[in-house]
Structure 1
Amino acid sequence: MTTHPPSPRKSPEEPPPPSTTSFTHKYAKAVAGRRAKWAVLVLWVLLIGVGGSLAAKLGDVQNNEAQTWLPKNAQATKAVKIAEDYFADKGRLGSVVVYAREDGLTEADLAKVNSDRERFVTDKLAAAEIPQVTVASDKKAAFLSVPIKSDKSDNSVLGDGVKDLRKAAQKNAPDGLDVRITGPAGSIADFIDVYSGMDGALMGATLGLVAIFLLFTYRSPILWLIPLLSVGLASQVASAVVYLLAKHAGLTVNGQSAYVLIVLVLGVGTDYALLLIARYREELHRHEDRHEAMVYALQRCLPAITASAATVGIATLCLVFGSMNSTRGLGPVVALGVVIVYFAMTTLLPAFLVILGRWVFWPFTPRYSAEYVDASVEKEHGFWGRISGFVGRRPRPIWIGTVLVLGALAFGAMSLSTGQTQAEQFTKKVDSVAGQELLSDHFPAGSSAPADVYVKDAGAAAALSTVQGVPGVTSATSVASRNGWTHIESVLKNAPDTQAARQTIDRMRTALDRSSGEAGDAVVGGQTAIALDTSDAQGKEEKVLIPLILAVVLIMLIILLRALVAPLMLLLSVVLSYTAAVGTAALLFHAVGYPRIDRGLLLFGFLFLVALGVDYTIFLMTRAREEVGKRGHRDGVLTSLTVTGGVITSAGLVLAATFSVLAAIPTVASLQQGLLVAVGILLDTFIVRSLLIPALALELGPKFWRPGHPERDEADLPVRPRAESARLG
């Protein structure tokens, strides 16, 4: 048995020529032909001309209001609907202005608070009447509940409203009086503020990182610009399309989906570019005509890139079966981005490369050689040739060892806990968090966001009595009765974003359900109810979407590889990689001081690590299937690891780096998302794809491809001498 990858000199013939009747050949020729390349370039210039200005408006259509993320059948959603329909609450959101002085409020302080109450209404800073001032029993703090105008289609309405309110509240404040804006409106305004302008910053940071990696990979002062320009233009077109759909078709776009779109398009697009350019460089050695070299390279890469884009696109589209608007909106946003970057990397990038010619590779310009054989390829991939030899010598210890390592890392997931508080959602102190802390110091912690109970008038008395008796409720009061409905405000003992407050909401709903008469039809909403219903919906989504995404990935692998055994093994490896990534990331979360996660992180991480992690497996195994058809199973698997090792590792590093950029956003959710995906991609790149999968394939032997037979599939294909070259017409 050989101990190293076989010497490619045993196969001096070049690979079989591409079929000139296949769809992939026609597509490649339509993109890279002598005249077609100019048509492609003109088409993308037109797209950029139209989409460039629209992309900048994506932030204008983001909707970050928490209740719009909820499923239609959630109680919190029903409560919002009742408030809008029967209490004219549509278009406004509650904020709390907190005034505090450590030594106790002075007469001047209280005069300021009462003056503000009148001025906020007079100056139309409040969207409705403001209740009386509430003063703490220790006389050290007071607050006003101020409704603010909001518009789901325009974030600036709420954001500007809170800014104007803050400016007015701080104006002429006595020295030493601490004034803060908190409550639901204050919290959302802070999220809007931290995401404001992040699109451009993220784009710049991501492009900068990609540029550094491309410079290091290609060691060329010119070549790195071509894929960078292509993915940058694709990102602008994708943002423009998403903007149009959000503006005119009701697509839900929030801060999360907007920044994921940018990072994913740049990361995935660079991956596809690395794969295509590596194959194009290889073919330039074999073909004197660069157009022919690109046709051959694109035709060979197209199945892998198409399978990758289809897997990611269809897997993310599965999110439309989620229960929350935010989940359903993320799917189409990401899928659109993947489709657009796919077409950019398989049309615009090839056109750029053939237009500019071989010189873009300077100083390592690939030269045509009639004597170029696979030994030359082996020389170019010396490091990965040694890795391949290592895997070939000890496949069984390697796959067992990597499984044990990944399994051990997965145990770190046991340290995860959910239920972030508002203070744990930002990596810097924001006004709404400081205001909530002041409230908690001087009032019942739930004062900033009381639970809203809506009940028909006939059941109001019974409902009020029931709510007042629920453990964890500090006070409950009927504050309004309109159009046959009564609104009961219930102040909770605990802060509205804590697990204890959610448990109180649960108890309240259970008690009201058990009430007799119309009190049993009461609906409980408010900030805490929204958080509770969101968490419950996320748990249900995991049970539906995770199996659905796995099924999509499995089906795509079966179609691509025309096998059953290999796809099952690959799917299991991806799942193992995901659990190891979650465990490793959990340990990192503790290390950076943010151990608690939002429940949605698990689905987010699963989607992107499974969908993106399988990319590198697709790149490896499509080349393996091609090489197995020419060399046999063992030699084909090891050769594919040798020739794809460098490009896939570069792609993994680029994608991990682009997702790590999310740490620049000052929210804990984005930091954790970036860490989780980056860690998972690195594990998949360096352990799963480089060691586990090749070792498993060698351990199973040719039955890895069952029921297919790649060795037979290409056994009778014609070959031609390398020196022979057919030019494109």
Structure 2
Amino acid sequence: MSQNSWLRKYGELVAGKRTRWIIIFVWIFATVILSTMLPQVGKNEVNNAPNLESTEPSVIAGQVIEEQFPSASGLPALLVWHNESGITRDDLTHVKQLSSQLSDNPLQGQTGIVPYHQLPDAALMSEVSKDGTTFIQPIFFLESTDTETLETNIEEIKQSVTDAVGYNPFDEETNSTKLSARVTGPAGIAVDATALFSGADVSLLIATVIIVLVILLLIYRSPILALIPLVGVGFAYGITSPLLGWMAGEGWITVDSQGISIMTVLLFGAGTDYCLFLISHFRQELTRHENKMTALINAVKDATGAVAMSGFTVVLSLLALLLAKYGAYHRFAVPFSLSIFIMGIASLTLVPAILSVIGRASFYPFVPRTLEMKQQRAAARGKTMPQQTAKRGFGLTIGNLVTRKPIAVTIISIVVLGALAGFVPQIKYNYDILSSFPKTMESREGFDIIAKSFSSGSLAPVTVVVDTEGKETGIADYLKSLEQVALLSEPIPGVKNKNLQSYSITLDMNPYSLEAMSFIPELESKVAAYLSETSGIDSPKVWIGGQTAEQHDTKVVGDRDRNVIIPVVIVLISLILLVYLRSIVAMLYLIATVLLSYGSALGLGWIILHYFMGVDGIQGSIPLYSFVFLVALGEDYNIFMISSIWQKRKTMPLLQAIKEGVSETGGVITSAGLILAATFAVLATLPIQVLVQFGLITALGVLLDTFVVRPFLVPAITVLLGRKAFWPGRVYEVSPQSVQRSK
């Protein structure tokens, strides 16, 4: 059975008078049953899941610290007391009250506090910053404490402080001459990060639905048609959410609020695109066939292959994230790929079934009709149809341009994209989570106060553990001598192994900065060398723990994941293109153009973020996230256009096939690109810099694919290569004289 034959039978199945109702019923039944019996994905979100494996140095150090130095271990919440006119003894009374309360009635998961209530006032005053305005009160919790518990604990602390002070110091401005308070540190940062992402779920969903609906209404001017893709996406989400919730509940996967937020955008953007490609084919066929069923069957036959291959490309690319060692990357793989997989099924089953039921009315009030139908309507009204003239749309104009001047189009496109990609080496990266927060976020304000009044390193001290083997090492004096060390604590001996000594180091820099992160391996090697040279310890054992060490390991693991996943994605997409197009040459230049587009998107994103928005560095995770999305989604558009050209070249000369392929797919790909870019751009409206950067760069990449790569560069290269573009696949020879050329 030929491909066209089974695709036609498939079209007859999904558009059949009886089978269409069965398909719609199955989707409704499955959605209701799954949503009723299984938990929604939001019920099983875990927002404090570890990102690093147990074999990473900082994780091992954390285990040693927790076992040997329990009083110094834990996740600290830093309560920052601040009075612009100076901390008073009365202010410190509130510190003592809270210390006493937490000592007598520890919070859930609390591991320890500094016993300030047992210290004299003079000792407390010595802990105030040199400018006399700030006091830091640390409260430690178990490393494994979940974010919800941390949030509850922090709220209890705030309530206790408010009751003691007599007003809410957490609402007081930080430049006030009254006592103000902020909670920061790793615990405060974790709670704020979760609050930002959890608040983004609903707002993202609403904004995405509205923007997709508005764009569809503007493009197609049909309220019914605008709702059909959203219905398809809605059912796909209704299936995906409980399935993910069930998988997470069984412990098979871990989901977090950030991943669900991005998944929502991806589902609406890419899902609407798949629906549009089918709808555009249906619209064209309705102008050729009076029978709506015949038109829909032909549309399904023509669109199914491209939609299926495009969806398969995205699913495989996203599944490649399973190869990641970094938890955040790994957790995205299943939700993203499953949502696209289910959406692909919906666009090829549910959506055509709905179109079969509604028929031409889907496009009301601008209903597409055949020429004969238009003539009949005109005759019934006593009017005469005007003579049909050749349709010359913008897509045909571009098609003519690329076939007549392919060299110029290719050179200009490559120069423009290459110039933008030239900015990529200038990009600076950071792993500072605080830089993703709004400046008014509580933990960010607390950090700013600490950085101003103390060393910014006080936010997250570095813990150094050494095995002295019972020898006098003088390691404390050595650590103090390091220029990066602003403050060094007294050594703490190990509980089980007295030869182990722990030192808390306050750095003289932002502990989340690249400079601090790069100091971690340097510190480890210097301490090991010192112990070996001065104390004669063979193979010294040194552990470096704390947030800065974890961030360093995050960068190392992230670099490893990027170096593994990017080549794998390229190979997977190359194989898919090779199987679908049966052309090595086409596969190579399609991959090359998308990679060039990805580089130009990064470069243009850096130009906008750095030179116009004042961003010093983009988040280190952005290049990998953007690559996976842009390369997979970019090839979507190439597949849709190239499949049209490949189909047409069987019945017409190559130049005409390219011209008509560009013209035929131009409108729908432009519409799809605008919708996809707009949905990702929604992320840029959130007060989270990592999503702003990801949304902006991805949206720019989609627009470059839509308006440069797809309409100009790819068809122009195809013209230049001619018959070689199909090598080693079959070349169909069609005489130009046997086909009427487009005017």
**TM-score (norm. length: structure 2):** 0.87
Distance 1:649 1:90, change over 3 A: farther
- Corresponding residue for residue 431 of structure 1: 442
Equivalent in the alignment of 2:84: 102
Match of 2:603 among 565, 583, 600: 583
**1:521-576 residue CA offsets vs partner (Å, 9 max, x unmatched):** 22212111111111122122221111111111111111111101111011111111
The amino acid across from 2:542 in the alignment is: A
Residue 24 of structure 2 corresponds to residue 41 of structure 1: yes
Partner in structure 1 of residue 171 of structure 2 = none
Whether contact under 8 Å (1:496, 1:527) holds in the other structure is yes
Give the structure 1 partner of residue 283 of structure 2: 281
1:652 maps to what in 2?
Answer: 673
Q: Over residues 171-201 of structure 1, what are the superposed CA-to-partner deviations in whole Å (9 max), with x where a residue is unaligned? A: 4337711211111001111101111232121
C-alpha distance in 1 between matches for 2:697 and 2:441 = 25
The alpha-carbon distance between structure 1 residues 54 and 119, as it changes in their structure 2 partners (threshold 3 A), is farther
Structure 2 residue aligned with 1:636, among 657, 661, 665?
657
Distance change >3 Å, CA 318–CA 18, structure 1 → 2: closer
Aligned residue number for residue 475 of structure 1: 488
How far 1:354 sits from its partner (Å)?
0.8
Alignment of 1:87-126 (within 5 A): 93-125=75-107
CA deviation map 1:74-118 (0-9, x unaligned): 211222333455566999621111111122211110111111111
What is the alpha-carbon distance in structure 2 between the residues aligned to residue 70 and residue 441 of structure 1?
31
Q: 2:4 touches 2:301 (CA, 8 Å); kept in 1?
A: no
Q: Do structure 1's residue 388 and structure 2's residue 399 form an aligned pair? A: yes
Question: Which one of the candidate residues 553, 565, 573 is aligned to 1:533?
Answer: 553
Deviation at 1:580, TM superposition (A): 0.8
Q: Which amino acid in structure 2 is aligned with residue 645 of structure 1?
A: G
The SS at the match of 2:140 is strand
1:356-435 matches, within 5 Å, as: 356-368=358-370, 382-435=393-446
* Corresponding residue number in structure 1 for 2:152: 160
1:556 matched to 2:596: no
Letter in 2 for 1:500: E
Alignment check: 8 A CA contact 2:65 2:73 kept: no
CA distances 1:356-382 after superposition (whole Å, capped 9, x unpaired): 22212112222356799xxx9996662
Pick aligned residue for 1:296 from 298, 301, 304: 298
Instruction: Report what 1:204 is aligned to.
Output: 206
Structure 1 distance, partners of 2:356, 2:131, is 76
Q: State the SS of the aligned residue for 1:129.
A: strand
Q: 1:446 aligns with which of 443, 457, 462?
A: 457
Q: Distance in 1 between matches of 2:507 and 2:322?
A: 35
- Shift in alpha-carbon separation, 1:188–1:697, aligned structure 2, 3 A: same
Residues of 2 paired with 1:489 and 1:252: CA distance? 33
Comparing 649-658 with 351-360, greater Cα deviation is found at 351-360
**Distance in 1 (alpha carbons) for counterparts of 2:33 and 2:105:** 41
1:502 and 2:530 matched: no
Q: Is the 8 A contact 1:697 1:704 kept in 2?
A: yes
Partner of 1:69: 51
Match of 2:141 among 148, 170, 187: 148
- CA 457–33 in structure 1, closer or farther in 2 if over 3 Å, else same: farther
For the residues of structure 1 that align with 2:631 and 2:200, how far apart are their CA atoms?
27
In the alignment, the residues of structure 2 paired with residue 575 and residue 318 of structure 1 have an alpha-carbon distance, to the nearest angstrom, of: 17
Structure 2 counterpart of 1:501, which letter?
A: A
| Identity level (%) | 30
Q: Out of 450-459 and 630-639, give the one that drifted further.
A: 450-459
Structure 1 counterpart of 2:504: 489
Residue 182 of structure 2 aligns with which residue?
180
Give the AA of the match of 2:601.
A
Hey, what does 1:570 align to over in structure 2? 590
The partner residue of 1:354 within 353, 356, 359 is 356
The question of whether the paired residues in 2 share the 8 Å contact of 1:60 and 1:155 is answered with no
Q: Secondary structure at the match of 1:580?
A: helix
Conservation of the 8 A alpha-carbon contact between 1:453 and 1:525:
yes
Equivalent residue of 1:629, what SS?
coil
Distance 1:607 1:136, change over 3 A: same
Cα 1:159–1:182, aligned 2, differ >3 Å: closer, same or farther?
same
Taking the aligned partners of 1:51 and 1:165, their CA distance within structure 2 comes to: 40
Q: Tell me, in whole angstroms, the C-alpha distance in 2 between the residues paired with 1:493 and 1:132.
A: 26
In structure 1, runs of 5+ residues without a counterpart are: 1-15, 716-729
Indicate how the Cα distance of structure 1 residues 707 and 461 shifts in structure 2: closer, same or farther if over 3 A, else same.
farther
Q: Deviations over 1:617-646 (max 9, x none)?
A: 010001110011111211111111010000
Structure number with higher relative contact order (C-alpha < 8 Å, ≥ 6 residues apart): 1
| 1:486 Cα deviation after fit | 5.0
Q: Output the amino acid matched with 1:588.
A: I
Give the aligned partner of residue 682 of structure 1: 703
Runs of 5+ consecutive residues of structure 2 not aligned to the other structure: 117-126, 168-177, 375-386, 736-743
Is it true that 1:340 corresponds to 2:335 in the alignment? no
Out of 141, 161, 168, the residue aligned to residue 169 of structure 1 is: 161
After superposition, the Cα gap between the structure-2 partners of 1:80 and 1:665, relative to the gap in structure 1 and judged at 3 Å, is farther
Residue type matched to 2:522 in 1?
Answer: R
| Partner SS state of residue 147, structure 1 | strand
Aligned length: 693
Q: Distance in 2 between matches of 1:141 and 1:198?
A: 33
Determine if contact 1:391/1:694 at 8 Å carries over to the other structure. Answer: yes
**Are the counterparts in 1 of residues 403 and 658 from structure 2 also a CA contact under 8 Å?**
no
Query: 2:606 aligns to what SS in structure 1?
Result: helix
Whole-angstrom distance in 2 between the partners of 1:634 and 1:89: 76
1:251-291 deviation per Cα after TM superposition (whole angstroms, max 9, x unaligned): 23233311111010110001001100000122223334433
**Does the 8 A contact of 1:181 with 1:431 survive in 2?**
yes
